[in-house]
Amino acid sequence: MDKIAVLIPCYNEEKTVEKVVRDFKAVLPEAVIYVYDNNSSDRTVELAEKAGAVVRHEYMQGKGNVIRRMFREIDAEVYVMTDGDDTYPAEFAREMVDKVLEHQADMVVGDRLSSTYFTENKRPFHNFGNSLVRGTINRLFHTEIKDIMTGYRAFSYQFVKTFPVLSKGFEIETEMTIHAADKNMQVDNVIIEYRDRPEGSESKLNTYSDGAKVLMSIAKLYRNYKPMNFFGLLALVLAVMSIGFFIPVLMEYIATGLVPKFPTLIACGFAMMAAIQSVFAGLVLSAGAQRSRQEFEMNLIKVDMHYKELKENDR
Reported as a pLDDT band with limits 50, 70 and 90, residue 232 is: very high
Segment 90-107 shows an average pLDDT of: 96
Residues 162-212 have pLDDT tens digits of: 999 988 888 899 999 999 999 999 999 999 988 876 766 666 666 667 778
Q: Which of 102-106, 212-216, 258-262 has the highest mean pLDDT?
A: 102-106
pLDDT recorded at residue 200: 65
Cα–Cα distance, 23 to 28 (Å, whole number): 9
List Cβ neighbours of 26 (8 Å cut-off, separation of 6 or more).
90
Report which of 238, 240, 246, 231 is spatially closest to residue 273, judged by C-alpha positions.
238
Reported as a pLDDT band with limits 50, 70 and 90, residue 110 is: very high
Long-range interactions of 235-243: CB distance < 8 A, separation 24+: 235/275, 235/276, 235/278, 235/279, 235/282, 236/275, 238/271, 238/272, 238/274, 238/275, 238/278, 239/271, 239/272, 239/275, 241/271, 242/268, 242/269, 242/271, 242/272, 242/275, 243/268, 243/272
| pLDDT for residue 122 is more than 70 | no
Task: Give Cα 229 to chain centroid, integer Å.
Answer: 20
Cα–Cα distance, 229 to 272 (Å, whole number): 18
Report which of 97, 73, 77, 153 is spatially closest to residue 306, judged by C-alpha positions.
77
Cα–Cα distance, 28 to 52 (Å, whole number): 13
pLDDT recorded at residue 115: 83
Report which of 161, 172, 9, 151 is spatially closest to residue 76, judged by C-alpha positions.
161
Locate the domains of the chain by residue range.
2-224, 227-314
Cα–Cα distance, 3 to 103 (Å, whole number): 16
Segment 152-170 shows an average pLDDT of: 93
Pick the CATH number of 2-224 from 3.90.550.10, 3.40.980.10, 3.20.190.10, 3.40.50.1240: 3.90.550.10
Cα–Cα distance, 31 to 10 (Å, whole number): 18
* Side-chain-side CA neighbours of residue 280 (13 Å): 5
Residues 7-56 have pLDDT tens digits of: 999 999 999 999 999 999 999 999 999 999 999 999 999 999 999 999 99
